[in-house]
Structure 1
């Protein structure tokens, strides 16, 4: 990504009145992130959801200074990053409406593996929970999954260590910038995690581990994976928030049951009782639910209609999907420069003509 574009992304990310959902809407509507800061205020105000307060913050000159400082840090430390419209952005996360427009990464992360699971739970892990977590990951190792967690005390660090022990890639999602590590006692694991995966964060290099940052971090933990597993949890806690977010994304959620009298099993038992999670007793439950034990079947090609007449926009979408393969709605809109409200209708017409087909996660591809 060119420096000018990255600077614009950082400016938008720093704008307090613009969240990730609205930021994506701005980018897709005007056509490019750099164009967001070139548009006239009157034009921006016509975009649904953009008010005078948001426009005022977009034009805040202090954000330019702060973005330039962060850009300098990225360059000097050679920080890697992923932009939500780039090919190196993880697909699972890209399909989440509120995923970060930009996040930073460190280590040897490879998102090509589709078998990604998040493991979360209490910081006050019991011997029962630790044994279950270790056995679960050991038994899943044959499927070579990526293990995601939050690098916190208890279940998080247990999951990372078990992944490393079984030569699996593990990703730690941080609630702060790369200039520090929290908790400090986990510094001794940094090298091991980097050698077996790495760290990601949406927060700038000097961002502190504030309480609200952990809640924001949870949506990445839930969104980047295929399923979220809660090992142990009290009646309230961050892991239950992560489970709720995963449910909102229509992701699979698993919970390990425990005795009714155990404090750190109450959260899991409640998830199962309310049908907010699938009961998890062994690795086989995950393998069957996520279809890891089923080999991909060769599909018979679908005969396309011959000599189908396409409109100019339909042809544009067709050519783009034929070149790029399956793509998200936002990416198609941005690349083909077609407003979202028009694109939905175009894709429907193309589907009726047997040219495209929708996929889970608002993805589309040529038939």
Structure 2
């Protein structure tokens, strides 16, 4: 690494970014392993300066992985240097999982990527985020329904997420662009190559009002095993994943299953029992893995958008709230619930200084102590 390039990197990026980018480049160091190492040593940089005996003491670091780290860390740092300089030149944001711009919803899933490559203007932590997925062999029915769903999201100013693939995915992106909504395409390859190439112009428009996003470093080609990995990001970024059309073994069912495993809302558009492209959706509904989507109100009621995400009203005339003895983080939550009544967890997250993880811990403590209660639709209220 040259002295000049090191200065350029440090002048425009956090000092730890070089090591943050390099860590997942090391073979077999996936997101989970990388987070374990960072948690153990305190930073990515400390992982690279750790002695062999210190690395071997980390739970889950066996002989093979230890050898990989020791033999590849120098090369990984060189590759990371080139990656950072290229990202700056191409206006690609490198979002490490501790970066405030990293999608908070995604950060809290167990297999979240350590590092994301992002190019665009959309807020990945928008108040309302919906993923729309479906078959590549969509029908006219799927096209009409997709456009109707997106149009219904305009009044909510939602961020629309999909996978930039043929069929329902690209229809969702195009409908969002037409409606003026930000839309983000999650890719199964690196950002410099749009796949499929037929969607190059769409991706360019999305960068101006939305963005393109990937966990894969520059030079990564599209490959079949990477698509399921991409699907977990689509599911993890959103409040709800809507499957518009799917065959009985469609790839969009993977997104639905992942969203369900993350305890996120899943909806499916029912279709004719004679239609092959509705079999997957109908099966999701039948197996209770998805709520039927038949009209916009279904989504609004599921996510409590019709009431819980409205702006705070003026404080109501109610019993005085004595916050004496409560820690500051609990006071923030109790004060909002006292003023606003039953409140969605996303609103609490947006109007406190707490991360989603911290907020979840506070809500659990207050609920177990008998001060608040959890309600359907991720609402919370004072007792």
Contact 1:17–1:53 under 8 Å retained in 2: no
Q: 1:291 Cα shift?
A: 0.8
Q: 1:2 Cα shift?
A: 3.7
**Residue number in structure 2 paired with 1:325:** 353
User: Which of 19, 38, 44 is matched with 2:49 structurally?
Assistant: 38
Q: 1:66 Cα shift?
A: 2.5
Q: Distance in 2 between matches of 1:118 and 1:224?
A: 8
**Residue number in structure 1 paired with 2:39:** 28
**Residue number in structure 2 paired with 1:250:** 263
Q: Distance in 2 between matches of 1:3 and 1:148?
A: 28
Q: 1:240 Cα shift?
A: 0.5
**Residue number in structure 2 paired with 1:146:** 159
User: Which of 185, 194, 205 is matched with 1:172 structurally?
Assistant: 185
Residue 303 of structure 1 pairs with residue 322 of structure 2 = yes
Aligned alpha-carbon RMSD (Å): 3.2
Q: 1:76 Cα shift?
A: 2.8
Q: How is 1:77-88 mapped onto 2 (pairs within 5 angstroms)?
A: 77-88=90-101
User: Which of 28, 43, 49 is matched with 2:60 structurally?
Assistant: 49
Contact 1:305–1:353 under 8 Å retained in 2: no
Q: Distance in 2 between matches of 1:206 and 1:41?
A: 31
Determine helix, strand or coil for the equivalent of 1:105: strand
Contact 2:91–2:119 under 8 Å retained in 1: no
**Residue number in structure 1 paired with 2:224:** 211
Q: Provide the TM-score with structure 1 as the length reference.
A: 0.82
Q: Distance in 2 between matches of 1:281 and 1:264?
A: 16
Higher relative contact order (CA 8 A, sep 6+): 1
**Residue number in structure 2 paired with 1:232:** 245
Q: Provide the TM-score with structure 2 as the length reference.
A: 0.79
Q: Distance in 2 between matches of 1:40 and 1:351?
A: 44
**Residue number in structure 2 paired with 1:313:** none
Q: 1:239 Cα shift?
A: 0.5
Q: 1:67 Cα shift?
A: 2.3
Q: 1:167 Cα shift?
A: 0.8
Q: C-alpha deviations, 1:208-246, integer Å up to 9, x for none? A: 011112111111100011110000011112201111110
Q: How is 1:217-366 mapped onto 2 (pairs within 5 angstroms)?
A: 217-294=230-307, 295=310, 303-306=322-325, 325-327=353-355
Determine helix, strand or coil for the equivalent of 2:49: coil
Contact 1:305–1:354 under 8 Å retained in 2: no
Unaligned stretches of 5+ residues in structure 1:
309-323, 333-343, 359-367
User: Which of 74, 79, 85 is matched with 1:66 structurally?
Assistant: 79
Q: C-alpha deviations, 1:134-182, integer Å up to 9, x for none? A: 1111122111111000111000000001111111111111111122111
Aligned residue-pair number: 334
Q: Distance in 1 between matches of 2:326 and 2:239?
A: 39
- Gap change, CA 1:296 and 1:49, over 3 Å in 2: farther
Q: 1:297 Cα shift?
A: 5.3
